[in-house]
Amino acid sequence: MFINGQIAGHEELLSIHKRYARSGADPMARGASLVGVTGIECHLVMLNTIKSMLS
């Protein structure tokens, strides 16, 4: 349950950061969102790996 919740939360956060990176009002925050996308995607890979190991 924990891993599934983490995956869902990371997917939602990824969507928010991708959207802001494309069209956010503040250029500095857009840059931070762009960097955040990479980290969130990395976390999703790790979470999905853990999930597959538990199945």
Express each pLDDT in 5-27 by its tens digit. Answer: 999 999 999 999 999 999 999 99
pLDDT averaged over every residue in the chain:
97
- How confident is the model at residue 8, as a pLDDT? 98
Q: What is the pLDDT of residue 55?
A: 87
From 34, 3, 1, 4, select the one nearest 17 (Cα to Cα): 34
The closest of 50, 18, 51 to 36, measured between CA atoms, is 18
Per-residue pLDDT, averaged over 50-54, amounts to 97
Percent of the chain with pLDDT over 70: 100
